[in-house]
Chain A
Amino acid sequence: MLETEIAIIGAGPAGMAAALAAAESGVAATVCDEYPRPGGQFFKRAGGSFGLGPAHLGREHEHGERLRRALTEDRIRVLSDTLVWGAFGEKVLMLYREGRSEALRARAIVIATGAYDRPVPFPGWTLPGVLSAGGAQTLAKTQWIKPGARMLLTGAGPFVLPVADSLLRAGVEIVAIVEATRPREWWRHAAALWGQWPRFAEASAYRRMLRAARVPVLFGHKIVRAEGEETVTGAVVAAVDKSWRARPGTERRFAVDAIATGFGFLPNTELPDSMGCTLRWDAHGQAWFAAVDDMMATSQAGIYAAGEITGIGGSVVALDEGRIAGLSAAEHIGALDPARAAQLRAPVQASRKHLQGFADMLNVLFAPRPGLWQGLIGDTLACRCEEVTAAEVRACVREGCSTPKEVKDWTRAGMGLCQGRICRSLVVQAIAEERRIAPGQVPRSSVRPPIKPVPMGALAMSEMP
C-alpha cells in the first residue's frame, strides 16, 4: 500500500495549489491525476514533443508552466495517468494506474476533481463533429489538431471565449459564436463588476481576438439542430425568448463541419459523494456541488474539497480554494498550528470571497433557463451510451418512475459506461418537467465504486484495504 500525508485528487488549478500549500507547510503530498500531465482543463497543454511558437500559446500558458515547475519540488509526488476509482475505510483511496489497482492511505484528503461541460441535447447532437466546448479545446490545444475546419460555437457565458481563442490559434475558422443571452440583460448586474479590473482586461483581450479574426457574435440565439448523415455538415440556430425557447421562423443555417457547445459545467462530485460528504443543490448552476465551509472542509473530518466541485468559479477562484484546502489539510494533520494556519488562510479567504462574487454574478447571468432543454423530446437521445430517447425517459416517468434509479432500471438510461455523467442531468430534468417539481427536488441516485470503469482483471489482482 502507498502511504502519504495528504492525498490530493486532481491536478488542475485547485489540486496544484493545494499541493504547493501542503509542501510549503513541510508536508508530503501525493497528487493523483487522470491525465498525462498536471494542469487540469484550464492549464492543459501539449506534450513535450510539440514545437510551439509564441503565437500558439494562450494568456494562461506561463502561469501554468510556473505551477508545473513548482510541483516538481521534493515533497510532492505526482501520479499522472492515475484514476482514483473509489475510497474505502479510513482515508484509503483506490488507484488504477499502469494496468493495476493499488491502495493509497492518507491522513487527509483534498478532492479537486473539477467539472465538465453540461450536456445539452438537440436533434443531431450525437453526430460525429458535435462536441463539448472543452473537448474541442482539448483537441486543438493539446494535440494541435483542428476539431473542424469551419466551426460554430454555441453556449452561454464567457467560458466559450478561451475555447474560441484555442480554436483560432489552431487554425480553425469560426463562422459564429452563438450566445443565448443578450447584452441588455447584463447591465442590471453591473454593480458586481466594481473592483474586478483584471476581468475587464481579459474581456477586452478576447474582444480584440474576435475582431482580429472577424468572428461574428450572434446574441440571443442558440443551436436548435445539427445536420448531416455521417458527420456534421450544418448547424441551425434560432433566436430565443427570455426563457431560451426558440422563436419559430427565426432559424438560420451555417455550413460547418463541427459544432462546439458550452452551456456551463457539471461538477465531478462522485468521489465526495461516495465518501459521505454532504452535497448542496445550486439552483443557478442546476447541479449538486460539494458543500464546504470557509476552510474548504467538507462534512467529513479531514476531507477537503476545492475548485469547481464546490461551485463554478473559474481558475482564479480554484487557485485560492486549493491553497486554503491545502493549508487546512496541513493543519488537520498537525503540521501547521491553528493560529498560523488561520493567519496564512486569511488573505486567501478574502481574495476568494472577492473573486467568487464576480463568478456568482456570471453564474446567475448565464444560468441555464428552461428552454435549454427544449430539445429533450421525441427521438433525440437522452442517454447516449445506452441509446435511450427522451420520449422513452419521459414515458416511463409518466408511468410512475420518479427517480433516476427507477428510470435506469426501467429504460437502461444511465447504465452505460459513462455511468450517467452525460444523461443524469437530462433524466433529472425530464423527471422534474413531467412531475412539475424543481430539479433539486428529484432524489439523487447513489454513487458506488468504481466511479469510472476499471478492468475486472485489475480489480481481481488488487490489494484491498
Chain B
Amino acid sequence: MAPPAATPVTTRRSWLTVAWTLMRLSAILLVPLVWIHVVIQDMLVGVHRINLEYVAMRWASLGWRIYDAGLLCFAFAHGTNGLRQVLEDYIHGRRARRVIRVLLFCFWLGITALGAAAVIGGVGS
C-alpha cells in the first residue's frame, strides 16, 4: 500500500524561528567582526599597551566607533539569546521560561545601554 501523500501545512513563523535564523546570520557576520577585534587587541596590541589614551585614539575615528557598536549589538545579543537557548534546554515550565526571558531581556538591555553610552560618549574626564 502506498504511503499517504504528504499534506503541506503552513505554520506561522514564531519569533523563535526568527531568533533561530538570526543566530545563524549573526554568526556569519560575527566571525570576521570578532576575530579581527581579537587579532588587533589581544595579539597585535596586547592588554599591556591598552589604556585610556589608546581608547581615545581609536574612538577618534568614527569608523572604529561604528565597528565597536556593531560588535556590541551583534555579539551581545547573539550571546544572550544563546544563554536563553541553553537555559531553556533545562527549564521547561511556561512560567519559568517567561521569567528567564524577561530577566535575560533586562540583562541584555542594561548591559547594551551601558556599552552604547560609552561608544557614543567616548572617553570621560
| Chains A and B bind each other | no
